[in-house]
Each structure stands twice: as C-alpha cells, then as structure tokens.
Amino acid sequence: MEGARQKVVIAGQGAPAWLTAAAFTRSLGKRGYSVTVVATGSKPGDQPFGIGDGTLPPVGLDRDPFPDEFRAVAASGAAWSLGIALSGWAAPGVTYFHPFGSLGAEFGPVSFQQLVLKLRKEGVAIRFGDYSLAAMAAQAGRFKRPDGNPRSVLSTCRHGLHADLEHLSELARIEAGREGVATAVGNLKAIERAEDGSITALGTDAGERIEGDLFIDCSGPEAKLAGPGPGSGWEDWSPWLPCDRIISASVETLEPPLPYSHAEANPGGWVQYLPMQGKTVLNAVFSSQHAEDEDVLRIFQGYIGTSEVPGGACHPVSFGRQLFPWQGNCVALGTTAAVIDPIGISNLHLLKTGIGRLLTLLPGEADARLMAAEYNRQTAAELCHARDFAQLHYRLNGRRGEAFWDGARSAAVPASLGYKLQMYANLGRVAMYDFEPLDDASWINLFDEQGVQPRQLHPIADGIGLDELKKHAERVRAVMMDALRKMPLHADYLSQVNANYTKYLNQEADK
C-alpha cells in the first residue's frame, strides 16, 4: 500500500477534533495520509464538560494518543491528578479518596484487601487510602512522575491530568497544523453519501467540498455525521445514571493547584472541582427534577465568593452511548459516541481511549468492516464497565432522606453490575472482564468506602497471625512514607516543569 494516500476528515472543533487530528498525524506521519478538520459550527464550550475535564491513568491502552504530558502541563496550564476526593457520597459530611494506582502490597497468596478486612476484624481501624501512595501524596500535595521502573514503589502511584480544554485544544491545533493538517474555511453544511450509506464528502457553507475515505465525528452529542444521538442505535443510560443536567464554570485561582479533583455531593447531584494552573473548573452534574439551576449557581457562588459565575453554561445532558460508534466509514469519538456521568471515568478519558483504540485498529487497506466490529466490541465492553462504575457511586450512596439519593440507592442495576455487587458483597472480590477501564483497586476502594462489608473473609487471610499482619502493613506504609518524603511538592514540580519548558523553547528559538 506504500504510495496510496488516504484522506481522513474530522468533523468538529475544540479539544475532541484537534486532539484527534494531532494524534493521527503523530501516529501516521505525513506519508500516506492527509487529515482535514471541518468545523461543525458549535462553540467548544457547548459540548458537555467542554470547559475543563480530567483524565485517568490508562488501563490496557496500547498507544497514548494525547500530547506529551510535560507539554500539556507547561504549555496549556494542565495539572497532575492523583485521584478524586469524594465528599458526601458515603454519607453526608464523610469524605473518602479514590486514588489512582494500586493499594498496599499482597502478603503471600493473600491480597492486601483481604488483609485489611482481617485487620479490621481484629479491631484495627484501617483504610485503604492509608496504604496508597497516590492518596498519601495527594494529601501531602506532592507529586512526581514515576520514572518507569516497575520495581519502584513509585510505580504503584499512577496519575491523570486536569486540563483546560480550550488550552489543550490550542496545543493540539498547533501541533496538527505543523504536521500539515488542513482546516476547512467554512462550517459543515452538507453530507454526501454513497448508495451504501457511506460518506463520500462533506460540503461547507463556504462552498468547499472535502472528499474523504474515513470520517471522524467529533461534533458532540448532536452527532452530525454519525446520526442522531437518542433514537436508533442509542443506549440510554438514564435508568442507571440519574442526572440530566450540567452547569460548567471556570474561576481563576492564585493558589497552586491541588494534585487531585474533588467531587462533592449535594441534595440534587454533585459538583466536580478540577484544579489546574491558574484556575479551577467546576462541573455541576445534577437532576433537573431535584434541583434548579439557581440552586447549583448558588453553590458556585459560595465557592467563588462572588455573585458572578464566569462561564456558567447550562446544558441538558443525556447519558448513554452509540451502540455502533463505528459504522461504515464513519467513527464517532468522544461525546459523539458516549456521554458519561464523570464521577468515575471522565469523558476526556473516553475520548483518549477511543482515539488510541481507533489508531490501533485503523484499517489502512484492510476491510474496515472487521476493524469496525472489533472497535465496537471493545468499546461496548469498556463503556459497560465505565457506566457500571459510575452507577455504583450512586447506588451505594449513604444520603438517607433525600429523594434524589433515596431513588438512586434503590435503582435497578444492569446484570453486569449486579454480578459485581454480588461477588463483592459475598467474597470481597471484584469480578473483572476483558477491556475493563479501571483496575480492580478502584472498584475495591469504592465498594469499601461506600459501605459494602463482604460476608466471607478469606480463610487464608483469617489464618494469618495479627502481629505478622501488622508488621507487613507497617512495612508497606514505611516504604511509601519514604518514597513520599522524596517527592517534591506538586507546586514546585510544576514550576520546575514550566521552567524546563521555557528553557527548551529558548533553545529551540536560538537554533
């Protein structure tokens, strides 16, 4: 196939479109491919979670399609994230932490989690977060990127990013432009299709006609190429994820960003606080039946300390997914393919895994139908477990006497989540499947912190002597404490990364 030049056309704007365009050129090089972006007319902030969003550590992703982290941090003001502090979920006034990375260390054949259960049985008060380097570092405001050595305790601490999507989009747009990505002058106006339904070209309101072989729809929930969202081929998640409205805002901050996000439950939903350099992005996710926009804006005002809420865009939102995100020669990515309540997995993260998966399965000269089938199979599995993880936060809430939360606690669960719940409640184990988007540590922590006590303690764990166990736990914590002391403060680390980047830019300019 060397010599053939395939035309990729991306419809959309903002972070989804430009991150996709940049990833394509980075992965494919200039040879053999041309990439064109056609705007679909809406403002980036019109997309749900379009102002700021976070990513999580990837699980099973063959290719990281996002811009280099150091560049994202230094050039777009992003900040690192070690996890999520969740307050008011387990019970009003109670906060727990969802750390990225693993928990503790196993003891012979027994998982750390079973050891914790045994210690508790013996009356020792102990939380998983006390044995997670990510949680400990988050609490201490420290961060350091792991050096890649799988034997180092630092490798147990994983991370994501919090990013201002407009800035991240700009970073990707510059990279894509440098690599030869073309941009249409006009906005999408017409879609030309062949008899079999595949797309042949897009027309713009500036009179352009852009032909393509592969079309990627990044237009958001309107799904301008991939078809209408709710309707045929759309799996509606409203029976499981009870919120239907979001308000996003962004406020400037002077303090250095915390290396974790905060998810604070309120009577009608929850608010996400994403700290990044110079600002915090707020996303309120709530049920319009249980809260008014004014209620949410009052929470924002309380946080900001003024009556003015910058941004403050309100959107109705329908959580769900396209059953077939890749159909014919059109692939829906990001919030075009699925919109999820970001309490567990974020929408930006799903965009990232979607781009990575698409690049891994890009057909080239091969039969695209097969690659599409595999793409859709993997995506369906990933989204099923992502949705289950999100719902589990609601299902296990401890807010009694609030209509919204009482309803969420008694809502039905899909069979996949039902089995996971049953397994954990009985054995304290997580049933894991192919293409799970999270490691079992995230599930264990959530089950545990939101109050599920397994019926059976593992007999082997039960048989280990208390002193031996305490010593093991102390050892684990000591190793982590030692690593923690050597970690720089997140703020200092950010300054260092920024300074290095400036130095690098100056060197480049001198060349």
Partner 1 sequence: MTAAALSRLLPPGRVGIQLVESEAIGTIGVGEATVPHIRFFNAKLGFDEADFMARTKATFKLGIEFRNWGRKGDAYIHPFGAFGDDLGGVPFHQQWIRARQAGSDTGIEDFSFPIVAARRGKFSHPAEDPKSPLSTFSYAYQFDATLYAAYLREFAGQHGVKRIEGRVVDVKQNAQSGFVESLSLESGEKLEAELFIDCSGLRGLLIEQTLKTGYDEWGHWLPCDRAYAVPCDTSGPLMPYTRATAQDAGWIWRIPLQHRVGNGHVYSSAFCSDEHAERVLLEQLESPPTSDPFKLCYTTGKRRRQWSKNVVAIGLSSGFLEPLESTSIHLIQLAIGYLVDFFPDRDFNPMNEIEFNRVTALEYERIRDFLILHYHATERDDTPFWNYCRTMDIPDSLAYRMELFRERGVVPHYREGMFLDASWLAVYFGQRVMPLHYDPAAESLPGAKLAGTLSAMREEYVRAADAMPGHEAFLKSIGAMA
The three state secondary structure string of 413-470 is: CCHHHHHHHHHHHHHCCCCCCCCCCCCHHHHHHHHHHCCCCCCCCCHHHHCCCHHHHH
* Measured distance CA(232)–CA(234) in Å, rounded: 6
Mind giving me the DSSP string for 386-408?
HHHHHHHHHHT---TT-HHHHHH
Nearer of residues 65 and 88 to partner 1, judged by Cβ: 65
What Rg value do the Cα atoms of the chain yield, rounded?
23
Least Å from the CB of residue 268 to partner 1? 36
Residue 252 has phi, psi (to 5 degrees) of -75, 145
Under a CB-based contact definition with an 8 Å cutoff, are residues 260 and 54 in contact? no
Residues contributing to the site for partner 1 (CB under 8 A) = 1-2, 6, 27-29, 31-33, 60, 62-63, 108-109, 359-367, 370-371, 374, 378, 422-423, 426-427, 429, 431-434, 436, 455-460, 462-464
Least Å from the CB of residue 181 to partner 1? 15
Nearer of residues 6 and 200 to partner 1, judged by Cβ: 6
* Measured distance CA(219)–CA(228) in Å, rounded: 11
Least Å from the CB of residue 23 to partner 1? 10
The three state secondary structure string of 144-212 is: CCCCCCCCCHHHHECCEEEEEHHHHHHHHHHHHHHCCCEEEEEEEEEEEECCCCCEEEEEECCCCEEEC
Under a CB-based contact definition with an 8 Å cutoff, are residues 471 and 127 in contact? no
* Measured distance CA(197)–CA(328) in Å, rounded: 8
Nearer of residues 30 and 503 to partner 1, judged by Cβ: 30
Nearer of residues 413 and 457 to partner 1, judged by Cβ: 457
Q: Which helix (H) or strand (E) holds 7?
A: strand 6-12
Least Å from the CB of residue 462 to partner 1? 8
Nearer of residues 371 and 480 to partner 1, judged by Cβ: 371
The two three-digit tokens of residue 449, written as one number? 């912190």
Nearer of residues 456 and 496 to partner 1, judged by Cβ: 456
Least Å from the CB of residue 418 to partner 1? 12
Least Å from the CB of residue 2 to partner 1? 6
Least Å from the CB of residue 412 to partner 1? 20
Helix (H, G, I), strand (E, B) or coil at 213: coil
Least Å from the CB of residue 361 to partner 1? 7
Nearer of residues 87 and 360 to partner 1, judged by Cβ: 360
The two three-digit tokens of residue 444, written as one number? 């264990």
Nearer of residues 63 and 470 to partner 1, judged by Cβ: 63
